[in-house]
Amino acid sequence: MRDLGVGFKYLLRGQRWVVRHGKQFGFGLVPGLITLVLYAAALTALALWGADFTAWATPFADDWSSPWLGLFRGFLTGVLFALALLLSVVTFTAVTLVVGQPFYDSLSEKVDRDVSPDGTAPESGLPLWRELVISTRDSIRIVIRALIWGVLLFALGFVPFVGQTVVPVIGFFVTGFFLTEELTSIALQRRGIVVRDRLVLLRARRTLVWGFGTPLALAFIVPFVAVFLMPGAVAGATLMARDLLGEETREEGDEESGDPGPADPAHFLNG
């Protein structure tokens, strides 16, 4: 349970870091704003025409009597919008990171240099186009897994009582894990750590991941909040990645040094 607090600490430290480095914060807002406009347009369209889509998808209910027809299609429309909102929370980070790969990679590298005892940061050595290809491919894999979880939770949502109480809680923890996986991938990819090994790192310290990602998932429900928290989330995820790999982190100001975990970085780097 201690790791829950440590994970949340990294989320706060990341936000403090970008506040102290205003220029990085400003640059980090650009990709989030672009993605926000795209998602807002999609959700607005769903809100306007979701009922029409539900009616088109359920022709078998056309002859139902009132009020059952309205209740049935109203319920499905609400569920559809709720599922779209959940998926937007999960995929917002993936899309924003792809759009803002150069911005966030630079931000993450500056965080590494700032907190590293020797002032250096790992570099992938890959050209930008190659990093974009890898980032996009990995994001698609994560989104596919998130969609599978989303469909499963959507189905469980129909279970009486459990679907209205336990399932939403599980949903936020699952979303938090996927958000953290996406955000830490920036720093871990620069270290040459592949997706499989990233998952081993994160699953080994799930409570740390949940402490970081679950509060972020709750905050990301509000689109404008997601945009303003993204730069700090990337910075905090970089700090947490150093923790996961057991890298030494220099103390700065009133911040504590990272809380290194038991992982051996050589094991993951060597696959």
The DSSP letter of residue 252 is B
pLDDT at 129 over 60: yes
Q: Is the entire prediction scored with pTM above 0.85? A: no
- Answer positive or negative: Cα dihedral of 91, 96, 97, 101: positive
pLDDT at 242 over 90: yes
Taking the CA atoms of residue 212, residue 213, residue 217 and residue 219 in that order, the dihedral angle to the nearest 10 degrees is 20
Which residues have C-beta within 8 Å of that of residue 203, sequence separation ≥ 6? none
Query: Could you report the per-residue pLDDT of 32-76, keeping only the tens digit for each?
Result: 888 888 888 888 888 888 888 888 888 887 788 878 888 888 888
Going from N- to C-terminal start, the domains of the chain cover 2-249
Residue 266: Cβ within 10 Å count: 9
pLDDT at 254 over 50: no
Give me the pLDDT at residue 21, please.
86
Q: In terms of Cα–Cα distance, which of 194, 189, 195 is closest to 241?
A: 189
Residue 114: Cβ within 10 Å count: 19
